[in-house]
A = this chain, B = another copy of it.
Amino acid sequence: MQSIFSSPNPVLFGSGTSGQTGEKLRELGCTKVLVVFDKGIKAAGIADRILDIIEASGIETVCFDSVLADPPDWSVEEAGALGIREGVDGVVGLGGGSSLDTAKAAKLLLTNPPPISQYFGREGVKTVESKPLVLIPTTAGTGSETTPGGVITDTKNNIKTNIAGTGCKVDLGIVDPELTLKLPPSITASTGMDALCHAVESYTSQRANSFCELTARQGIKLVGKYLEVAYRDGSNLEAREGMMLAATLGGISMSGPLCHLAHDIGKVLGAKFHIPHGIGCAFCLPQVLEVIAPAVPDKVRYVAECFGAGIPDNAGAEEIGRSACEAIKELMGRIELPNLRSFGVTRQELLAVVPEGVKAQQDGLVKLFGQGTSPVPATIELVSEIISRAYDEN
């Protein structure tokens, strides 16, 4: 058994830690930082709170306040250009995955020439490290603050792809559960499912290793314990802390083993239909658990049991798979996760993503549909069957 224990970035975790943002930026030598966020974070008052904290440490701020979901290449290039124009010596990302990944790209572009597309999907590409990057998640989902790369939409090919490498290295994640206290229930639900997918998929990845298994199991257990509680009572700090830790552990567990079927399908849906990332990824999770059960029955059993499934000791892989599928479907019902029909996507449009994804993969634009990570062979037929069943059943 071989495994890569990937290096999570340093993370400062705990309620109230975002109050140290200015101090930490000063320790990193910053005097003027680009702060990257979106309109929602501005409206929630979180951006102003963090800007005040940074400025109170005598650090100037420049705002890029127009992050877009599934950040398009041209948008992250605008963020990078603003940073260069303003001569910043640091970047702060504040928000969900889109804001954190835009901040990663902006840091990269401070010292590596545009276009961003030349750094897509190629972990081997050499980029120069630039100024410090601090990431502050405001959802318990993305885990981007712990991972070595970012997800950007390649608008030429209409696909979500990756940037990675030293050029977008995260110097510090500041993970403050208090920032999630006012998240609306629907965002708590969808981002929480993203965290769950990270943990479940890396745990069951072909590349899973002992370190990933340890962090993923704890992440899955925490989602089982706290997602519904946080969904029903957003002000429950214990549940918010539990979910934030689950998201952090999910990010750590996927760094290396990566995700597979559910996530890769979710990414295609994100690029094509702008389905929120967590919903897109969760969409097929019940069926994915069912089809992978014969390959990793004990792991699927663990997941199912964390969500309350009672499975007899002598159950076979099929029964375990069915129980896991049902347990996750029930969870998705309880947290009222929208299905794809509610986004107006037809079955036909949905199934059309499969050949498009396959082509993108063949063109080397992305690793898709669990190639090299899914515990069962990720054939076109299997992916189509999973999507089709998820559309009908979930």
Contacts and interface: CB of A to CB of B under 8 A. Distances in A.
A7 interface: yes
A75 interface: no
A10 B3 CA distance: 10
A153 interface: no
Contact of A2 (B10, B12, B210): B12
Q: Is the interface of A mostly helix, strand, loop or mixed?
A: mixed
A1 interface: yes
B209 A13 contact: yes
Contacts of A2: 12-17
A82 B353 CA distance: 58
B5 A14 contact: no
A68 to B, nearest CB: 29
Interface in A229-259: 241, 245, 248-249, 252
A158 B176 CA distance: 42
Interface in A158-201: 173
Contacts of A245: 210
A10 B5 contact: yes
Contacts of A248: 5, 211
Given A214-B214, A215-B214, A10 B6 contact: yes
Interface centre among A15, A209, A214, A215 (most CB of B within 10 A): A214
A128 interface: no
Contact of A9 (B3, B7, B209, B241): B7
A8 interface: yes
Interface residues of A, number: 30
Interface in A1-55: 1-17
A117 interface: no
A5 B1 contact: no
Contacts of A252: 5, 211
Contact of A11 (B5, B9, B215): B5
Nearest to A148: B10
A218 interface: yes
A41 B288 CA distance: 48
A13 B8 contact: no
Interface string A76-120: 000000000000000000000000000000000000000000000
Interface of A: 1-17, 146, 173, 209-211, 214-215, 218, 241, 245, 248-249, 252
Given A5-B10, A8-B8, 5 more contacts: A1-B15, A2-B17, A7-B8, A7-B10, A210-B245
16 contacts: A1-B15, A1-B241, A2-B12, A2-B14, A2-B16, A3-B13, A4-B12, A5-B8, A5-B10, A5-B11, A7-B9, A8-B8, A13-B211, A211-B248, A211-B252, A214-B214
